[in-house]
A and B are shown apart, each in its own frame.
Chain A
């Protein structure tokens, strides 16, 4: 199957700082990528849809100024959590749509805000 990577795998930061998470499709081009957030023992919650070359589409209740998304190329989307606070601590997962409309996920990034 197609491979999607995320970097970093985990990050610990101080409250008030910003954190950038990268999502890359390694062996295919993805015009559409998704960013999810997952709390322990819960399903994935879609945060936003990232489209290459255009603004991201955010789900209701997700602050676009808080979670900045940039999809500058067909293989890279970034999520920046600005002015992070402890309640932003979570598992963030990206996914990319493959040619056959299958969705492949990255391994996730564990964010802990102190």
Chain B
């Protein structure tokens, strides 16, 4: 299947710090989605991106659709303890159906 490289794999940060993570691929995507998953629950959609260069915010979260269409970035500003969880990117390839491919996830730990 399609590989999405997500990094970093895990992060340990102090409360109040900013966080950055990204997903890259060798293929071109026409949609990028970012999700957060808490233990024992399903992923929750955070941000959806549809156009190259698009920059979208959701509260303290900001995500960007890379210009090359092969990557996407998620930033979290002024982290708080409830930001703890696993963040996944998901991309949909150009000219395919509705199937999304998922990144390997970034585990975020926020230290109070």
* B-binding residues in A (CB < 8 A): 1, 4, 6, 32, 34, 41-44, 46, 49, 59, 91, 93, 95, 97, 100-108, 110
From A6, A93, A103, A107, name the one whose CB has the most chain B CB atoms within 10 angstroms. Answer: A103
Of residues 1 through 55 on chain B, the ones whose CB sits less than 8 Å from some CB of chain A are: 1, 31, 33, 35, 40-45, 48
* A-binding residues in B (CB < 8 A): 1, 31, 33, 35, 40-45, 48, 88, 90, 92, 97-100, 102-105, 107
Q: Which of A44, A49, A100 is the one whose CB lies under 8 Å from B43?
A: A44
Given A49-B99, A103-B33, do A59 and B1 touch, yes or no (CB 8 Å)? yes
Given A93-B42, A102-B48, do A43 and B33 touch, yes or no (CB 8 Å)? no
Q: Is there an interface contact between A43 and B88, defined as CB atoms closer than 8 Å?
A: yes
Interchain Cβ contacts under 8 Å between A and B, 24 examples: A32-B97, A32-B98, A41-B107, A42-B104, A42-B105, A44-B43, A44-B102, A91-B40, A93-B42, A95-B42, A97-B98, A100-B48, A101-B92, A101-B98, A103-B33, A103-B90, A103-B98, A105-B43, A105-B44, A105-B45, A107-B42, A108-B40, A108-B41, A108-B42
Bound CA span A105–B43, Å: 6
Q: Is there an interface contact between A104 and B45, defined as CB atoms closer than 8 Å?
A: yes
Bound CA span A42–B107, Å: 10
Q: Is there an interface contact between B99 and A43, defined as CB atoms closer than 8 Å?
A: no
Q: Is there an interface contact between A101 and B31, defined as CB atoms closer than 8 Å?
A: yes
Q: Is there an interface contact between A43 and B103, defined as CB atoms closer than 8 Å?
A: yes
Chain B residues positioned under 8 Å from A97 (CB to CB): 98
**Nearest-neighbor residue (CB-CB) of A104 within chain B:** B45
From A44, A59, A106, name the one whose CB has the most chain B CB atoms within 10 angstroms. Answer: A44
Chain A residues positioned under 8 Å from B31 (CB to CB): 101
